[in-house]
Amino acid sequence: MNARFWSTFVFLLAFGVQGVHAQSFPTGDPFRPLIADPTEPRFFVSVLDLHAGTPSYTIASVGAGTNFGLYRWPGERPGEGWQLGVDALVASQFNLDTGSDDLINTDFRIGVPLSYRRGSFSGRAKLFHQSSHLGDEIILSGNAPARENLSIEALDFVLAWEGASWRVYGGGFYLLSSDIADQKEGGLHAGLDYSGRAPVLFGARLVGGIDLRSFEETDWRIGTSVKLGLEFGRARPERRGVTVLLEGYNGPAPFGQFYTTYVKSYGVALQFDH
């Protein structure tokens, strides 16, 4: 990653484009986080049974991420308008079947999202950088895959429509640059969310979603992420609380160095929302 380019770019976006009517450092976001997207910036910990070919593993997946609003240009109604921010996610996987819970892989993502909402329609476009790194223990084990210098800059976007508690969305991905020669550029993204409004158990609300991603680089094979659980605490847009989820995944691995490996996983997750 060109650190000078990105730091200058973020600085100019954050402080050079604010208008007279912009609100500084708003809370929340006009575009709600995607429930089942495994790359959404959030704080979480999950324990998964992972199948990659013949072997299976018990892994812990841990993430620390957030979306920080810089400026919002309000719309006609509360929660509407445009928002510019910065988001980041660090996500790691650990092999719990080893004595020292070996680190498998860590992904670093930082992005500049621009989001919008008006009525039932919302959208988000994001320019982001991602780099991925194998864990030391897996490298020393002698069973590590061939290391890829996976460092990319990309643009992704998604448009959504909401009705009652449901939201359907679709979008795409375009690779701008990569350290891997001849990496293919296109990708598609779609999904469906449900965010219940009424308490169903112990004061919690039912939430769930299915997220589908497909990339030209992996021959358009679909990665399917499914999550279903209970959301405790404040509802959005003032969301703060904990979500307990059952989750499953089938498709090309959603973590960096193994992106060409076909995996299946299922397990439980604890998500901390703020």
**CATH code (residue 105):** 2.40.230.10
Helical H runs in the chain? 3-16, 136-140
Q: Is the pLDDT of residue 193 over 60?
A: yes
Q: Can you state the percent helix, strand and coil of the chain, rounding each to 5?
A: 10, 60, 30
Q: Is 250 exposed, middle or buried (0-12, 13-18, 19+ CB in 10 A)?
A: middle
| Domain residue limits at 251 | 3-273
For residue 144, what pLDDT is reported? 64
Whether the per-residue pLDDT at 13 is higher than 80: the answer is no
Please give the tally of structural domains in the chain. 1
pTM reported for the whole predicted model:
0.89
- The sign of the CA dihedral 134, 92, 124, 261 is positive
Looking at residue 21, what is its pLDDT? 75
Q: How confident is the model at residue 164 (pLDDT cuts 50, 70, 90)?
A: confident
Mean pLDDT of 121-126: 96
Per mean pLDDT, which range of 25-39, 134-148, 179-193 is the poorest? 134-148
Per-residue confidence at 111, pLDDT binned at 50, 70, 90?
Answer: very high
Closest listed residue to residue 193, CA positions, set 229, 165, 223, 235:
165
More confident residue, 234 or 225: 225
Looking at residue 102, what DSSP letter applies? E
Instruction: Write down the pLDDT at residue 44.
Output: 97
